[in-house]
Structure 1
């Protein structure tokens, strides 16, 4: 703010008073803004509920939250620019081509592995597994039963591309096969119909997800490691956010969810169609021991008391 120098004592007194008031107001505005935590949420049920759990806990301890709903690449770019503080949906190694350059350049920071036991790969129904299909390398032997098709999700997805490249490079002797892209809902509807009719089908699968609760699935072995091994879901943050909000960063770093719990969230929200806020609230109230671990050493936004005390009060009823 640039202010001209006053020309009289009276004007100087008034200017100083106005300046002091303005600074107070600006200070309050800055403090209020600093309590808002901005999340990026791609349109996936698991991260939708997971972020809702984080939001409800943060709001219970005095923070405000905001959400940007967009594709994961847009959200990730937002984190790198500081427009978004955190994104809890970073899948590695499958998203490595997008994520790794941003990490290497220091534009984003992988704060924690929030789902350490995730998995992304190619799946078949259990009855197909029992018939002898245990590996991606077994698919060609039964190509006629599968109609030489692997069902995928949205075009441009890393998992789709892994299998497209495998077909192109004749990895696992898949030359002549086809990756059929669809929406996630469309792929799962196709899989559901096939399973109901006991037909052979191979498609992209991942956990956590409700498909692991609804269907008996087997993840095919990948001895050539085209999928890069087991998956991990990370929380990515803007590096400056960690410096500005160490209290929130500590909470997010400690917020670790295992695939079994998140699969249940996805089942309740994505399959049973329960509201995300209701699923999150019910889980928090029933899992206060886990919540206490996430909030260890975390204070309320004003620093007045341990965060877990505020959370227990908020969710007592």
Structure 2
């Protein structure tokens, strides 16, 4: 009897120990995502420093990103900086992420930073974009279809090309073209201005049916605001297929390795022309504030969130997709 009682007591003790061990294991499994997230990213990763050159498309993508980051428990600041200063900021570790590496337009500017490993090119966040010179449709209807058609109509264009802000890589490409006297444009001049200033000139010209040639790109609200035609033949300065462009996400060196959860997010955030055009049209034409326009666009393109947030968690380790969907639904 004593032997049986001792055996039963030992079995009870072993069963209790196994139950406690199992409970501890289950608890550890439940906490694993939280602990992994906390271990993977230092506290410094919780604030993301970004930049905008004042371009409507980058303002849109920065705002979308800010909505996602906030829902995940991160904070964001966006500094208004020219493109060259942005790259210097990335190099010095003062900026974490830039969503506006338009290629090949920025190739000459960005090459030294890439070659010296001063920045990381993380991901192509937009493809099938356009970035080259354009004219209003009535100018195209009159026979201007390519860069080679500009010089023969120099007087009508007042020997002038309208660009964006001083220092922009696209402007440097235009200056190079003029310096090389390409297409007979050696006597032409470039007017550098802000994006808004350039488009004001286009608006005035279109209103009065005057001739104008200017820097244009898609996605942008200008494509719905004006009837424009992109010029062919500028491959040497803007790339083929009407300046067919790819926009990359670039970061300070080592950002994605230091902030692994954010690195995963930024490697997966891929935009499209329709999404960006919707936001910019709402902001520039319909006068909707950019955050509201971005929230509306995310609701209309909710299928994008799954791929963006695959495997991404909140700062606390919770399901990232659920957190973002809940935040968007709450607005």
Would the TM-score normalized by the shorter structure come out above 0.5?
yes
The whole-number CA distance in structure 2 between the counterparts of 1:67 and 1:185 is 19
Q: Is the CA contact 2:219–2:274 (under 8 Å) kept in the aligned structure 1?
A: yes
Q: How much does 1:167 deviate?
A: 2.3
SS at match of 2:199: helix
Alignment partner of 1:91 out of 84, 89, 102: 102
SS at match of 2:131: strand
Q: How many aligned positions are there?
A: 289
> What residue in structure 2 maps to residue 220 of structure 1?
231
> What residue in structure 1 maps to residue 14 of structure 2?
none
Q: How much does 1:264 deviate?
A: 2.4
Q: Is the CA contact 1:150–1:180 (under 8 Å) kept in the aligned structure 2?
A: yes
2:278 is the counterpart of 1:264: yes
Q: Is the CA contact 1:146–1:201 (under 8 Å) kept in the aligned structure 2?
A: yes
Bigger helix share: 2
Kindly name which structure, 1 or 2, has the bigger radius of gyration based on alpha carbons.
2
Q: How much does 1:61 deviate?
A: 1.7
Alignment of 1:285-296 (within 5 A): 285-296=299-310
Alignment partner of 1:182 out of 179, 184, 193: 193
SS at match of 2:190: strand
Between 191-200 and 209-218, report the one with greater CA deviation.
Answer: 191-200
> What residue in structure 2 maps to residue 238 of structure 1?
252
2:159 is the counterpart of 1:145: no
Q: How much does 1:69 deviate?
A: 2.6
Q: Cα gap change, 1:228/1:69 in structure 2, threshold over 3 Å: closer, same or farther?
A: same
Q: Deviations over 1:92-119 (max 9, x none)?
A: 2222222111111111111111121222
The whole-number CA distance in structure 2 between the counterparts of 1:287 and 1:117 is 18
Between 46-55 and 67-76, report the one with greater CA deviation.
Answer: 67-76
The whole-number CA distance in structure 2 between the counterparts of 1:224 and 1:41 is 27
Q: Deviations over 1:174-195 (max 9, x none)?
A: 2322222233222211111111
> What residue in structure 1 maps to residue 212 of structure 2?
201
Q: How much does 1:223 deviate?
A: 5.3
SS at match of 1:192: helix
> What residue in structure 2 maps to residue 111 of structure 1?
122
The whole-number CA distance in structure 2 between the counterparts of 1:256 and 1:40 is 18
What stretches of structure 2 of length at least 5 have no aligned partner?
1-37
Alignment partner of 1:274 out of 281, 288, 297: 288
Q: Is the CA contact 2:133–2:215 (under 8 Å) kept in the aligned structure 1?
A: yes
Q: Deviations over 1:59-83 (max 9, x none)?
A: 1122222332322222222222222
Between 194-203 and 173-182, report the one with greater CA deviation.
Answer: 173-182
Q: How much does 1:213 deviate?
A: 1.1
> What residue in structure 2 maps to residue 101 of structure 1?
112
SS at match of 2:217: strand
> What residue in structure 1 maps to residue 323 of structure 2?
310
2:57 is the counterpart of 1:46: yes
